[in-house]
Amino acid sequence: MKIKRIAFLCVHNSCRSQMAEALARKLNKKDEIEFLSAGTEPEKEVDPKAIDVLKEENIHWQGRPKSISEIEKPDVIVTMGCGVVCPTILGAKTIEWDIPDPKGKSLEDYRKTLNLIKEKVFQLLAELK
């Protein structure tokens, strides 16, 4: 299967999935792969602390939380670790990441989460080669 679209999914699409999309877009060297993020109950805005830690990585992210219904059907979905409420899309290959949610925690917790996501994104991109 030729992968053309990967979606990072989380219920609120305001933190972990946004960070994963931003990192994947920055680190990806294959233009033919599109990275998206979405959720089943999207927030009104991206978590400000997520934006702050992305800026520390020189990523000036201007994404917005989106509903799954707003994105084109992906070939692969990556769930962030929302447990039984993690969004799914029928027909797409599913990869499950168990990323702790930093919401409501310190900026240092957001940095740890971003570093964990970065490791996972590097692994994913390596697997796509």
Q: What pLDDT does 32 receive?
A: 82
What are the structural domains of the chain? 5-128 (3.40.50.2300)
Residue-wise pLDDT tens digits, 14-41: 999 999 999 999 998 777 899 999 999 9
In Å, how far are 8, 18, 77 from 12, measured between CA atoms?
A: 11, 10, 15
Q: What is the mean pLDDT of the chain?
A: 92
**Core vs surface per residue 68-87: b (16+ CB within 10 A) or e:** beebeebbbbbbbebeeebb
Catalytic residue among 9, 22, 86, 99: 86
Closest by CA position to 4, among listed 92, 79, 122: 92
Structure token digits, residue 41: 């109950």
Catalytic residue among 11, 15, 23, 82: 82
Q: What pLDDT does 1 receive?
A: 61
Residue-wise pLDDT tens digits, 56-70: 999 999 999 999 999
15 is catalytic: no
Structure token digits, residue 56: 């520390």
Structure token digits, residue 62: 């201007």
